[in-house]
């Protein structure tokens, strides 16, 4: 019997997400408790929780963290001070919470969807951004975001027309501009799931007709084809290098000219699509057990 007290992190549901997402959480909770683990579902920003009583905090679905980012960082600081172990590791979570990491990876030669950084307090220079990205359409999104919040797909004329409202948003936070990738609409977006650095399963997400957002709560659909070997290998290499010590990782990308181009490396609260793959929930459990039996160590 495992006696470690585990907090499985969720959020205060404000009705933003589909029941599909909630089902994964309740199914995982039921599975882990049936296996004898001492698991409690906890809302990450509930002030009544005594975090010191937990040996392990597992970030499953703090899905509103980007709406409350300062509170989220303060909570991570608190867990660190209490020396509560967190999965994924706190230093990686902090790094992954800001999409500046995509610019860093780009600078390190990783094949990333080209990204132009838009600094908070600056003004959007539409012509310059379109010239840099060499694209007829761009995606503009916050550096700290999720669920396609404040995300726009714009032609140059549309960007000019919307510049004033984007500039207002830019006074509040950093943004990122990326070329619109038509292959997301035509081929879909790959998500590769890894538990403890080991490959688990793959889904291919497709946007509904006329949309560019592949999330299922925006009407996107999910498919489970066998992934091309070279794409899976590229995803595995990213996890090996950038997600050490992580219980879970999701690599989101698009295939361009036969290569995987990274869109997001999801290491905080990705939906894990466990219902799409037989044995996935068991693999997650085995990965969690392996983590629980590891000595606590900081990962540089």
246 pLDDT above the threshold of 80: yes
| Residue 223 burial by Cβ neighbours in a 10 Å radius (0-12, 13-18, 19+) | exposed
Q: How far is CA 221 from CA 5, 206, 213, 224, 242, in A?
A: 36, 5, 10, 10, 28
Q: Specify if 278 maps to a domain.
A: no
Same domain, 73 and 40: yes
Q: Specify if 101 maps to a domain.
A: no
Q: How confident is the model at residue 299 (pLDDT cuts 50, 70, 90)?
A: very low
Same domain, 32 and 65: yes
Q: Which CATH number does the domain housing residue 148 bear?
A: 3.30.1490.20
Same domain, 30 and 47: yes
CA distance 235 to 258: 13
Average pLDDT over residues 106-129: 95
Q: pLDDT at position 298, please?
A: 42
What mean pLDDT value characterizes the chain? Answer: 91
Classified as helix, coil or strand, 296 is: coil
Average pLDDT over residues 1-30: 80
Give 29-65 pLDDT, tens digit per residue: 999 999 999 999 999 999 999 999 999 999 999 999 9
Residues 6+ apart with CB under 8 A from 240: 197
Q: Specify if 160 maps to a domain.
A: yes
Q: Specify if 299 maps to a domain.
A: no
153 pLDDT above the threshold of 70: yes
Average pLDDT over residues 258-282: 96
Domain that holds residue 156: 114-180
Q: Specify if 282 maps to a domain.
A: no
Contact 120, 277 (CB under 8 A): no
Average pLDDT over residues 145-158: 86
Q: Which CATH number does the domain housing residue 225 bear?
A: 3.30.470.20
- Tell me, what DSSP letter sits at residue 28? H
Q: Specify if 236 maps to a domain.
A: yes
Residue with the larger pLDDT of the pair 164 and 220: 164
Same domain, 13 and 25: yes
Residue with the larger pLDDT of the pair 147 and 165: 165
Per DSSP, which regions of 92-146 are E strands? 116-118, 137-142
Number of domains in the chain: 3
- Residue that finishes a domain, picked among 128, 159, 180: 180
Which of 2, 7, 4 minimizes the C-alpha distance to 58? 7
Average pLDDT over residues 241-253: 98
Q: Which CATH number does the domain housing residue 20 bear?
A: 3.40.50.20
Give 197-240 pLDDT, tens digit per residue: 999 999 999 866 555 554 555 556 889 989 999 999 999 999 99
Q: Specify if 197 maps to a domain.
A: yes
Same domain, 39 and 9: yes
Average pLDDT over residues 107-123: 95
Q: Specify if 280 maps to a domain.
A: no
Same domain, 127 and 75: no
Give 172-206 pLDDT, tens digit per residue: 999 999 999 988 888 899 999 999 999 999 999 98
147 pLDDT above the threshold of 80: no
Q: pLDDT at position 16, please?
A: 54
């Amino acid at each position: 019997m495992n006696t470690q007290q585990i907090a499985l992190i969720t959020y205060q549901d404000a009705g933003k997400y589909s029941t599909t997402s909630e089902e994964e959480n309740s199914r995982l909770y039921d599975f882990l408790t049936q296996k004898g683990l001492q698991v409690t579902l906890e809302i990450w920003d509930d002030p009544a929780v005594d975090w010191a009583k937990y040996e392990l905090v597992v970030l499953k679905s703090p899905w509103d963290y980007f709406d409350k980012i300062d509170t989220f960082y303060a909570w991570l600081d608190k867990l660190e001070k209490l020396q509560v172990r967190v999965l994924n590791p706190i230093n990686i979570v902090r790094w992954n919470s800001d999409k500046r990491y995509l610019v860093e990876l780009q600078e390190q030669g990783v094949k990333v969807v080209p990204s132009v950084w838009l600094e908070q307090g600056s003004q959007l220079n539409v012509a310059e951004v379109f010239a840099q990205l060499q694209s007829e359409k761009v995606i503009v999104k916050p550096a700290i975001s999720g669920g396609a919040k404040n995300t726009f797909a714009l032609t140059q004329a549309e960007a000019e027309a919307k510049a004033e409202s984007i500039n207002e948003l830019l006074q509040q936070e950093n943004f990122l501009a990326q070329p619109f990738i038509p292959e997301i609409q035509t081929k879909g977006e790959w998500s590769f799931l890894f538990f403890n650095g080991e490959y688990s399963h793959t889904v291919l997400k497709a946007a509904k007709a006329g949309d560019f957002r592949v999330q299922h709560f925006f009407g996107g659909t999910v498919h489970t084809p066998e992934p091309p070997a070279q794409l899976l290998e590229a995803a595995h290499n990213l996890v090996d290098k950038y997600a050490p010590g992580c219980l879970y990782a999701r690599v989101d990308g698009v295939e361009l000219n036969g290569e995987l181009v990274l869109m997001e490396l999801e290491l905080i609260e990705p939906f894990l699509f466990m219902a799409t793959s037989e044995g996935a929930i068991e693999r997650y459990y085995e990965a969690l057990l392996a983590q629980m039996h590891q000595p606590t160590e900081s990962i540089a």
